[in-house]
Structure 1
Amino acid sequence: MYWVRSIFNHLKTQRKIPPVQKVVNSNSMILNQSYRFISQLDESDKIIQELCKNDAELEKKLRILMLEVEVMRQDGRYAPNSLNTNQWQHLMTLHSRNQRNNYLTYLWKTEKARENQKAKKEARRKEFEESKPEENKEFPDDLLYGLTHQALFLRIRDQSINNFDNYRALQAIKYGQPVVIDCSYEEHMVLRETVNSAKQMTFVFGDNRIHKDPFDIHMCNVNLRGDFMKQLRRNIPSLEEPWFPLNIHTKSYLDIFPKDKLVYLTPHCREELTKFDHDAIYIVGCMVDKVNNEPLSLAKAKRDGIKMAKLPLDRFLEWAPGSKKNLNINHMIPILSDLKISGDWEFALRHIPRRKLMETKILAMQKKIKNNALLKEDIFRNLSLKSKVKGFSLKEKKLRSRKSLYDDDNV
Structure 2
Amino acid sequence: MTGPGLIQLVDCEDVAWFRDGSQGARGAAAALGRRIGLGEQRTAELVLAVTELATNLTRHAVDGSLLLRVLRSDTTAGVEVVAVDAGPGMADVPAALRDGMSTLGTLGIGLGAIHRLADALHIHSRPGLGTVQLARFWPRPVHPRVAGEPSVGGITRPISGEEVCGDAWAARTDTGGAATPAPAPAEKVTDPYAPAPAAPDWATLTGVRLPAARTHTATEQNTSSLRTRTTGRPAPVRASVAGPGPGLLVMSCDGLGHGPMAAAAAQAAARAFRTGTARTPEQAMEQVHRALRGTRGAAVAIARLEPDGRLLFCGVGNITAALVTRTSRTTLLSHPGIAGHQMHQLRTYEHHLPADAVLVMHSDGLSDRWNHTDLAGLLHHPPTVIASALLRQAGTRRDDASAVTAKAPW
> Greater helix percent: which structure?
1
Q: TM-score range by the shorter chain?
A: under 0.3
Return the structure number with greater relative CO, CA threshold 8 A, min gap 6. Answer: 2
> Greater strand percent: which structure?
2
Normalised TM-score (structure 1): 0.25
